Amino acid sequence: MVRKYGKHSVWSDGATVYPEACLRLGLKHQVYAQGEWLYDIMERAVQTVKDRTEGFDDYFPCRKRGCRQQHIWS
């Protein structure tokens, strides 16, 4: 992604995996605190993506045992 889009700051909610990943990629890591306006916007955006993904899976469920989710990639 860095090669394709360039280096940008990474904003997160303070999860422990982000600082190390950003350090290895040479990206600036910034944390938004709970209660800030950015926190509310990001949490709403993540919830929207989760809801839409779940909705997609409801309409296109995988019926095969041991499936590698080819229906998603198609």
pTM score, whole prediction: 0.51
Per-residue pLDDT tens listing for the chain (74 residues): 778 888 888 888 888 888 999 999 889 999 988 888 888 898 899 899 998 888 877 777 777 777 777 666 76
Residues 43-71: b if buried by 16+ CB within 10 A, e if exposed: eeeeeeeeeeeeeeeeeeeeeeeeeeeee
